[in-house]
Amino acid sequence: MVKNITSFDSIFTCLDYSHLKQFKIHVNDVTWGSYLLVGEKLVVIFFEGERLMMTVATHLFHITENTSAKIDEVDTSKKLFKLFENENLLVEFEYTLHDPHYKIPPFEYLDEEQYDWGLFISNIINNHARQSLIIENNV
């Protein structure tokens, strides 16, 4: 069952699957995903069946139990996302934070990760229980 890969910026915008076909991804097996254009790089995190995958521009990464993510602050409006396999750096990219609407009433109940793309994807990559929950909710 093909599910839409939605934009982190708008749930009403979906990814054209031609991007994933270059990686020989079986789009019929995609069950969940989210993406964001970071500068000129398209960053996509998605499940192909029960396998968590991530693309950054033209690079495909299989997320395993040995994969981890880290966020470093560059300045008050930018952060640096880093993806590691064991302790080896696989990829990094700088991204701009969205306006922090979650700090303004009546939106203060929203989580910070709803406005921080890197935090959102690192919380998925680093939390295997959350990965399992996404799989359960989207199969």
Q: Does 20 reside within a domain?
A: yes
Predicted pLDDT at 19: 77
pLDDT band at 13 (very low <50, low <70, confident <90, very high): confident
Query: Which amino acid is present at 93?
Result: F
Assigned token pair, 6: 């939605």
Q: Does 113 reside within a domain?
A: yes
Which residue range forms the structural domain that includes residue 21? 6-138
Predicted pLDDT at 100: 56
The total number of structural domains that make up the chain: 1
Segment holding 43, helix H or strand E: strand 41-48
Q: Does 1 reside within a domain?
A: no
Q: Does 87 reside within a domain?
A: yes
Q: Distances from the Cα of 100 to the Cαs of 27, 96, 111, 114, in angstroms? A: 34, 12, 10, 9
Mean pLDDT of 54-61: 95
| Nearest CA among 52, 39, 110, 49 for reference residue 81 | 39
Predicted pLDDT at 15: 87
Q: Does 40 reside within a domain?
A: yes
Mean pLDDT of 69-83: 95
